Amino acid sequence: MAPPLLLLLLLRFFSLLPPAGGRGELRAFVVAHSHMDVGWVYTVQESMHAYAANVYTTVVEELMKGKQRKFIAVEQEFFRLWWDAVATDTQKQQVHQLLQEGRLEFVIGGQVMHDEAVTLIDDQILQLTEGHGFLYETFGIRPQFSWHIDPFGASATTPTLFSLAGFNAHLISRIDYDLKADMQKNKKLQFVWQGSPSLSERQEIFTHVMDQYSYCTPSQIPFSNRSGFYWNGIAAFPDPPKDGVYPNMSLPVTDSNIHLYAKTMVANIKERAAWFRTSDVLWPWGCDKQFFNASVQYSNMDLLLDYINKHSDEFGVTVQYATVGDYFQAIYSRNLTWEIRDSQDFLPYSTEPFQAWTGFYTSRSTLKGIARRASSLLYAGESFFTQYVRKHPASSICKCGALKQLQSLRWAVSEVQHHDGITGTESPKVKDMYMNNLMYGIFNVKKLMASIIFDMNNAKKNGEVYSSVYNKDSGIPVAISGLSYRKYSIKALNGKQSAFIGRSVKYKQKDITRADQESQQLLPVVNNCYQVLFDQNTNLMHSITERETNQTVQLTQEFLEYHVNGDVMKGPISDNYLFAPNASAVPVSKAVGLEVVFGNLMTEIRQYFYSNVTAQDYIYAVYTRMYTVPEGYDGKLLCHRIEQEYSVGPLELNREAVLRTSTNLNTRQLLYTDSNGYQIQKRAFKAYMNNTVARNYYPMVQTAYIEDDTTRLMLLAERAHGVSSQGNGQVEVMLHRRLWNNLQWDLNYNLTLNDSSVVRPVIWLILGTKDVTNVLYRTSGLALEHRPVVMFGALSEDKPKLPRQLQQNSVHGSPVTVPPNLHLQTLSIPGWRYSSNHAEQVHNVHMGKQKQGDADFSRVLLRIRHLYEVGEDPVLSQPVMVNLKSLLNGLGSVILVEERSLTGTWDVNTLKRWKWKTAQYPSKGFSNTTETSENSIVTVHPKEIRTFFVYFQGQ
């Protein structure tokens, strides 16, 4: 959620507008909902206690009292906690009944309402799959509509994601204020969105943008100083009031005020109707933390809706309780022709000229980094466990216990994708909750992986013998294929000499403000792919030469800080969400120290940035690493990257730290950034009347680049950052923020981002021709995202060498390898017990057969993604034919492959999504565009994500 002061509430209360021209009586769909943040200001546990459990308890009770009443449920984390720990058997039966009657509807159905700017597509899919798996297993239902009302801007990846999951329509709210005003005026808030340029109409989705009132009911009513239409008031923390009297409860509906209530509601319905093409009006009834006392909500609204309907001739409006599905069904049945929106997204997002929501792209960088490392470890653990179960059916490890260990990290990684989680827009105690849950899940999965290794190698456990290690002095190169495991025995040398000895050369600290440009001395650092020159007058990088083409790019890097205001009386402020710099960024250092460590495998260049020539301490440093690949190793990726690790902090208050890389490339100030690690967006620099710097910041989840006609400089990241091109040939990455302000709203909720940490993000630079970087950056990005998990442990002293037979049968026997333009995105055992046959699953649920039981270890979930766009590369952009039986041969003999929707709940052969009429495709109908597999051979087209259930012989 976000500051309520940012919602533009412009209700003209009594100006009863005439009905929209020629469309007849208006019909308002009153959608009851509660926006329940999985985090933000309060922890999940605090929210469950204060209000969230009461939402489901009281809503279910009230829905049973009136057949006309309806409600939509969104975030599954809260619902699942209620279902498992609070709901009685009677309430559970009632939920089943309400779902069958269509009066309770799950929308989105993910664990959370995920952020769209700084999340990776893998993790979006994970959290959606987690929620959908629970809903299908428990109720046999599959959400078909989105309700993405609160993420701060809208990504073009999301419409593709929801299309692949089987959704029929998509709903968003937060887009740029001036763009929304223009779309409202021209009745263009609804369109068919083709989010992927390669998938185009095959995975398009009808999209509804909420009007200026967004997802909340108008908050004031003219005849009362209390909130409008919130008869239960505002949730109280930490405890619900014992007398049931909450702050700011709306006046009850009585004979004396019912006409005033009706006029107010009708006026708002008519105002909204003027912004849309049909006479169907979506009227969201609810807001943050609402419906914790559903009795008082429905008893008042019942009276109001009855009154309006009895006087519909006078008002020109009818009203009804509805779900999101009811509303979209009404729009779909109108059979109108809709405009197409291409793959352009709605980022960045601003609510006012000085309120650019681009700060959260970087807020809480450490949390962003840990969330991504946890995600990577989860995928390693999932695939390791899957291969182990397939190859060691008679294992000593308890599979159910192992699945619980994986589920703890699935839950934590899903939870932090919330739009006030990984965004860094939460209070400190909520950040601690996310971190604790992530670290607990990480510990569990590492423990599981160590147990698998011990079991396969039949080793004795000696206490805490597993860990992960990063040893900068390791001098032994090893080659490991994807999805495979290698074991090495390492012994200390008798002479106790390191396996690798580097030669360190320290250079004199240089005053960069008095550098002599006349007598330039350049220090070369070279590997097989690049020559990097450092200017010894400044100790700064000077240029990079790509050795194969002999192309040289002048390239310098410097740290700068944006100074921001913290006093609301003096102007706009930066906070967790917003970035509002006072002026241009200011260089932070006047002196730079340089040290180079030369070695056989790696050369590390260490630069230390000092505020002045006499300073002893630094808060900025860069460690640049270049790798030399020995003979006999395929080192194409390793050689072609310049790895940089930054150390930034602790910052002074109200400083935002950036690394600016300046080149002589003529980029025309064009920047390219990724959407959620899935596709690339072109970002042209735009001049604004106000706040131009901040409104030209964009999220970089994994990739950003600048280029001229021949050469491209790519940046690959292992966590999200804000990124911008503030000048020709420049790209700057925001690395850290530390802020405090006196805005009372921020202070009340402890949302001032006083982050005094030191952050250590990593970015890989790749320089070369467009053709070369096109080939390199997809696989390099995956290599950075999924770095090898290194474990070490003490094996028993007298352990004999492994028999050859065991080596052949263990996980490292035969890796699963896919062609270079494909990515094996998921290989896991979800454990769901639901039937793949929908009719059978619905029958099982109806007959009460879906009780607790052992998890299903026979079903393997496989996802394959094509990494390239149509036309991006002459070879790698081609469709790829894959024989799944051959691909998975190392895991056993495949006997059955079922192709499924993205989250696994639909058989693609039965998935018929609504096809909306457009000028391009003038007929309405159903869309089913997947080429289903025969004989386990599938053709994967550019940007497709194909999902399968795979079953093996002997299961």
29: CB partners within 8 A, 6+ apart: 280, 281, 282, 283, 320, 322, 326, 327, 330
* Confidence check: pLDDT of 655 > 90: yes
State the pLDDT at residue 466: 35
Q: What is the mean pLDDT of residues 127-155?
A: 97
* Low-confidence winner among 204-208, 590-594, 612-616 (lowest mean pLDDT): 612-616
CB distance 117 to 360 below 8 Å: yes
Q: Which helix (H) or strand (E) holds 681?
A: strand 679-684
Cβ atoms within 10 Å of 871's Cβ, excluding its own: 10
Active site (annotated) includes residue 122: no
State the pLDDT at residue 492: 64
Q: Which residue has the higher pLDDT, 556 or 850?
A: 556
* Among the listed residues 767, 668, 766, 663, the one whose alpha carbon sits nearest the alpha carbon of residue 709: 668
State the pLDDT at residue 32: 98
341: CB partners within 8 A, 6+ apart: 191, 192, 193, 194, 207
Q: Which of 37, 115, 122, 150 is catalytic?
A: 150
Exposure string for 289-324, b = 16+ CB within 10 A, e = fewer:
bbbbbbbbbbebbbbbbebbeeeeeebbbebebbbb
Q: What is the mean pLDDT of residues 223-230?
A: 82
State the pLDDT at residue 792: 78
* Confidence check: pLDDT of 933 > 80: no
State the pLDDT at residue 926: 64
* Confidence check: pLDDT of 462 > 50: no
Residue 469: pLDDT band (50, 70, 90) is very low
- Output the average pLDDT for the chain: 90
State the pLDDT at residue 10: 33
* Confidence check: pLDDT of 850 > 70: no
State the pLDDT at residue 484: 74
* Confidence check: pLDDT of 900 > 80: yes
* Confidence check: pLDDT of 906 > 90: yes
Q: What is the mean pLDDT of residues 854-874?
A: 94
Q: What is the mean pLDDT of residues 99-124?
A: 98
What 8-state DSSP symbol labels residue 18?
P
Q: Are strands 355-356 and 894-900 parallel, antiparallel or unpaired?
A: unpaired
Backbone angles phi, psi at 431, to 5 degrees: -55, -40
How far apart are alpha carbons 165 and 167 in whole angstroms?
A: 6
* Confidence check: pLDDT of 806 > 50: no
> pTM (2 decimals)?
0.94
Q: What is the mean pLDDT of residues 579-590?
A: 94
State the pLDDT at residue 703: 98
Give whole-number Cα distances, 359 to 37, 214, 348, 365, 656, in Å: 20, 22, 10, 11, 9
Would you call 421 exposed, middle or buried from its count of C-beta atoms within 10 A (0-12, 13-18, 19+)?
A: buried
Q: Which residue has the higher pLDDT, 850 or 452?
A: 452
* Confidence check: pLDDT of 471 > 50: no
Q: Which residue has the higher pLDDT, 890 or 674?
A: 674
- Preceding omega of 238 cis (within 30 degrees of 0): yes
* Confidence check: pLDDT of 815 > 80: no
Residue 24: pLDDT band (50, 70, 90) is low
State the pLDDT at residue 227: 76
Residue 445: pLDDT band (50, 70, 90) is very high
- DSSP symbols for 294-347: HHHHHHHHHHHHHHHHHTHHHHTEEEEEE-HHHHHHHHHHT---B-EE-S--B-
Residue 8: pLDDT band (50, 70, 90) is very low
Q: What is the mean pLDDT of residues 437-450?
A: 97
Q: What is the pLDDT of residues 750-797, one digit of tens each?
A: 888 999 999 999 999 999 999 999 989 999 999 999 998 888 776 655
Q: Where are the alpha helices (DSSP H) in 392-420?
A: 399-416
525 pairs with which residues across the strands?
A: 532
How far apart are alpha carbons 545 and 530 in whole angstroms?
A: 6
State the pLDDT at residue 494: 61
* Confidence check: pLDDT of 460 > 50: no
Residue 518: pLDDT band (50, 70, 90) is low
Instruction: Retrieve residue 458's tokens.
Output: 């039949």
Backbone angles phi, psi at 713, to 5 degrees: -110, 115
